[in-house]
Chain A
């Protein structure tokens, strides 16, 4: 945040990315989008002009650019109370309707929530009954998610969250330590399909019983949030569940009337109208 960047320059960059690469950042929340752009300019020691030149002339640079632009800070079992509600109320609720069911992690980032969910399902003894699709628009981060390998220094916080979640074992039982990294058991994600998908421009591709999209839409402005929520609504079975971040809300959204609040503290909603 040392320097500043003109809104006009941000516009030039988003328009270029849209035309050349098909990603649409025009409706991202301005404050965080601006910080991400400044961060990229600082990390790459580039001027706005140099960045525009590189995005124009080097087609492969876009993946690296997206990797830095998107926020990939996450934790396993972030908000342990949310995961407890999921285990004790939401998933049993889904099972009343569907013995076998489908989950979508929308904006899965480096996969911490995908692995958290897999551990939760495994401890419930139903991992094999669940099909999961985990999507992100950043292909580099999807590779990281697939590998299930995290810096060992992150595990202290993850383990603390897991303990507060009141899991059955220790997080250590699910990973091996290799070269300073915690490498999770691949069996946990054998029913998970990791796919590239952009919430903004992407099509609806399946129907789900549960969609998790926590702390992703906070990077969008309200009109884009509305558009994405319409897609989630369409992608849910009737009586399917949507989980958003604890400080996100459907209150200001057009689609709120088609959902009921299942848990207000943890922001879990249920689709009640088509």
Chain B
């Protein structure tokens, strides 16, 4: 069964989220298939001056331990990464991360647009972008960059979002391939996983 018409050419999944996305993220991570074949790179808005705790909270139920990458850390298949607090997280050509402390974008550091935009530049049409609930427009442009490079775009169904500004901003800026509830995103990732096994 291939409901979403997927294949095994994808290289990475990026997820953006803000206010109201925590539960959705936890659900996705807790139901992730074992030995998921791709890196999952998450950029979530978070308290700027709380360095510890978030990654631990996400890891409790996650199938895979979540980690905050170091600058220039190589990106590994099957690993789950979270943008560290107070840094922008970029993907570099050569498949590794770079951090920066540049100005905030949309009042955010980490900014979802930066993570999604640099991932789109590196992975091009081999990237899947997922944008969840959130209270500002960050991530909308990032989703547009993904679509412009031929990647696949998913947003959480606005009706299910605690705050739908973020997915709606993306829908207004670019073509979204799938508008889905979190449960459907979980099914989508399971189907994706099957393409590689």
Residues of A contacting B88 with CB < 8 Å?
A: 32
Whether A149 sits at the interface, judged by CB under 8 Å, is no
Asked if B23 lies at the interface with its beta carbon under 8 angstroms from chain A, I say no
- Which residues of B lie under 8 Å from residue A222 when comparing CB positions? 72
| Whole-angstrom distance between the Cβ of A90 and the nearest chain B Cβ | 19
In chain B, what residue has the closest Cβ to A251? B70
Question: Which residues in A have their C-beta under 8 angstroms from that of B156?
Answer: none
Which has the most chain A C-beta neighbours within 10 Å: B69, B88, B90? B90
User: Are A29 and B103 closer than 8 Å at their CB atoms?
Assistant: no
A160 to B114, CA, bound (A): 27
| Chain B: CB-nearest residue to A7 | B93
> Which of B10-18, B29-37, B94-102, B162-170 is the contact stretch?
B94-102
Instruction: Check B118–A31 contact: CB distance below 8 A.
Output: yes
Q: Does B41 contact A (CB under 8 A)?
A: no
**The residue from B70, B72, B103, B117 contacting A1, defined by CB atoms under 8 A apart:** B117
Residues of A within 8 A of B157 (CB): none
Across the interface, do B71 and A31 meet the contact criterion of CB distance under 8 Å? no
Q: Is A63 an interface residue (CB 8 A)?
A: no
Chain A interface category by residue count: 20 to 34
With a CB–CB cut-off of 8 A, which chain B residues contact A30? 92-93
A30–B94 alpha-carbon span in the complex (Å): 11
In the bound complex, residues from chain A placing their C-beta under 8 Å from that of B100 are 29, 31-32, 35, 71, 218-219
| Contact assessment for A247 and B102 in the assembled complex, using a CB-CB cutoff below 8 Å | no
Q: Please state if A248 and B71 are interface contacts (CB–CB under 8 Å).
A: yes
Annotate A246-260 by CB proximity to B: 1 below 8 A, 0 otherwise.
Answer: 111101100000000
Would A31 and B102 count as touching, CB distance under 8 A? no
Q: Which residues of chain B have C-beta atoms less than 8 A from A160's C-beta?
A: 49
Interface residue? A198 (CB, 8 A) = no
Measured CB to CB, the closest approach of chain B to A255, in angstroms, equals 14
B84 at the interface (CB under 8 A from A): yes
By a CB distance below 8 angstroms, the chain B residues around A29 are 72, 90, 92, 98, 100
Q: Report, as a range, how many residues of chain B touch the other chain.
A: 20 to 34
A79 contacts the other chain (Cβ, under 8 Å)?
A: yes
B98 touches A252 (CB 8 A): no
Interfacial chain A residues near B93, Cβ < 8 Å: 30
Q: Does B193 contact A (CB under 8 A)?
A: no
Query: Contacts A71-B100, A215-B101, A219-B100 known; A1 to B113 CB distance under 8 Å?
Result: yes
A74 to chain B: closest residue by CB: B101
| Bound form: Cα–Cα A252–B94 in Å | 15
Docked pose: A74 CA to B91 CA in angstroms = 22
B118 touches A73 (CB 8 A): no
Residues 138-185 of B at the A interface (beta carbon under 8 Å): 141, 145
Cβ of B51 within 8 Å of any chain A Cβ, yes or no, is yes
**Pairwise interchain contact B101-A71, C-beta atoms closer than 8 A:** yes
**Does any Cβ of B come within 8 Å of A110's Cβ?**
no
Chain A residue with the shortest CB-CB distance to B91: A31
Q: Is the CB of A252 within 8 A of B51?
A: no
When the two chains form the complex, which single residue of B69, B86, B98 contacts A31, counting CB atoms closer than 8 Å?
A: B98
Q: Is B87 interfacial (CB-CB < 8 Å)?
A: yes
B71 touches A218 (CB 8 A): yes
Give the Cβ gap from B56 to chain A, nearest Cβ, in Å.
Answer: 14
Cross-chain contact A218 with B141 (CB below 8 angstroms): no
Known: A29-B100, A71-B100. 12 other contacts (CB 8 A): A29-B90, A29-B98, A30-B93, A71-B102, A73-B102, A164-B49, A218-B99, A221-B72, A247-B87, A248-B70, A251-B70, A252-B73
Interface of A toward B, CB cutoff 8 Å: 1, 29-32, 35-36, 71, 73-74, 78-79, 81, 160-161, 164, 215, 217-219, 221-222, 225, 245-249, 251-252
Q: Which B residues fall within an 8 A CB radius of A?
A: 49, 51, 68-73, 84, 86-88, 90-93, 98-103, 113-114, 117-118, 121, 141, 145
Give 13 CB contacts A-B under 8 Å: A1-B113, A1-B141, A1-B145, A29-B90, A31-B118, A71-B102, A73-B103, A78-B86, A217-B71, A218-B100, A221-B72, A247-B84, A247-B99
